[in-house]
Structures are given as C-alpha cells and as structure tokens.
Amino acid sequence: MTEVGSEVREEIRVGIVDDQELMRSALRMMVESQPDLSLVGEAADGYEAIAMVRSRRVDVLLMDIRMPRLDGIEATAAITREFPRTRVMALTTFDLDDYAFPALRAGASAFLLKDARAEEVVAAIRTVYAGHAVVAPSTTRRLIEHVARSVPVGEGRAEEIRERLTPRELEMLLELATGDSNAEIARRVHLSEATVKTHVGHVLTKLGLRDRVQAVVLAYETGIVRPR
C-alpha cells in the first residue's frame, strides 16, 4: 500500500516494452515519479516482454505496437492468454485502425497514443489496473463503426449469449454496444448508475470478457447488434 496525499493506494507493478531506448527512458521517468507505481522491468521487443512477465509479476504492461522480431499485437495475445491478470496498455505513434483494432482484439485493455500527456498515461494505468478499459476517444467510435461494418461471424455464438444472459443483462449488452458510459446508459434506461455498473459486471463475467471494449466487439461480430 502507498499513501498518496490522504488516499491510500495499492502499489501497481508496471512493465515497459518499447524498442526505442528514448521512449523507454521517458516512460521510466513517468512511472518512477508516481509513489503508487513501481517499475518492475523493461523489454525491447515482444519476446523479451513475454519473458519478463513469465519471470515476475506485472500488473500493467505498457506495450509498444511496432517492434522488431515479435510485435506488440502478437505479444499482447500471448501474454493475455497465459497471464489474464496482466493488463496490457497498447501505445503507438499512429492513431490508425490497423493498429488499434488488432491490439484490442488481442486482449489489450487500453489503446493510447504516445503523445498523450504523462498525467493521461498515469491515469490510464490506474484505470486499467482497476479492471476498466481505456481507449483514446478518437478510437472508440471508429472501433464501433469498423466492427459494425463487418459481416457477423458467430450466429451460433449469438444464440448461446442470449441464453446465458437474463433479459436485463442482454439489454445492458446492447447498451454497451453504443460505446456510452454507465452514466449515459443509466439516464437512458432510467436506472441508477450503480445498478447499471452491477449489470455490466454480470455481463462481462458471464461472457468471460475482460472489459466493455471487448463487449462492443462481441456484440457486433456475433450479430447481436446490427449496424444502423
């Protein structure tokens, strides 16, 4: 536990993965400047990232996307599959669909640009550690639009999902697919934000999803939600 002002926070163990020493140095300084963040290792490519996570506990991994030998997308898929409790934050210079969507599908809980302010990255680390997703605002809506244009590939899975969820939980999945926050959903369906949060948690647990971004992808890819 670490005391930050009057607030006591758990120590978050952070790993850094980037093939550029200058970027690793900047991220290192950012992490080490925060009393509740602890730097546990650095890696220059995906293979080194996997080895790092296997050798020590990493709560949040700051993952570059474009790297030699093994890129961040493949490394993210391997790490989140083997170590589901390790949260991956994908960082890239390019706000492009070709990088964002594969990273999120691979299991990343966050997608941020490298030019994000230090306080934004730090806030995202804490948010991801708490079990929530963080995606750059410019990416979220395009994610929905991109997946919505795709042809559904899991009609059988859609029926399985409908059977697994209660009517209220299915309604929450449809609401999640809008990309709106719990507060926005609560106002629309006339429930308290706390109640919406509880239902969303049940949806994610029952469907084995890491976060609401994965719920958006699943809803569209299975055809449960159709593009307008």
Predicted confidence pLDDT, tens digits, the chain (228 residues)? 555 554 556 899 999 999 999 999 999 999 999 999 999 999 999 999 999 999 999 999 999 988 888 999 999 999 999 998 899 998 887 655 567 777 877 888 888 888 888 888 898 899 888 877 666 555 565 666 665 565 555 557 888 898 899 999 999 998 887 777 788 889 999 999 999 999 999 999 999 887 777 787 788 778 887 665
Q: Are 168 and 200 in contact (CB under 8 A)?
A: no
Q: Which residues contact 186 (CB under 8 A, 6 or more apart)?
A: 192, 193, 195, 196
Output the pTM of the full model.
0.72
| 3-class state of residue 91 by DSSP | strand
Contacts 24+ apart (CB under 8 A), 2-8: 2/35, 2/36, 3/35, 4/35, 4/36
pLDDT of residue 6: 47
Q: How crowded is residue 115: how many other Cβ atoms within 10 Å of its Cβ?
A: 9
pLDDT of residue 141: 57
Q: How crowded is residue 173: how many other Cβ atoms within 10 Å of its Cβ?
A: 25
Write down all domains in the chain, each with its CATH number in brackets: 2-135 (3.40.50.2300), 146-221 (3.40.50.2300)
pLDDT of residue 46: 94
Q: Are 170 and 164 in contact (CB under 8 A)?
A: no
Hey, which bits of the chain come out as E strands?
A: 2-4, 7-9, 12-17, 37-43, 60-64, 87-92, 110-113, 134-135
> Which residue is it, tokens 């999945």?
173
| 3-class state of residue 10 by DSSP | coil
CA distances to 26, 65, 67 from 31, rounded to whole Å, are 9, 19, 21
Q: Are 93 and 101 in contact (CB under 8 A)?
A: no
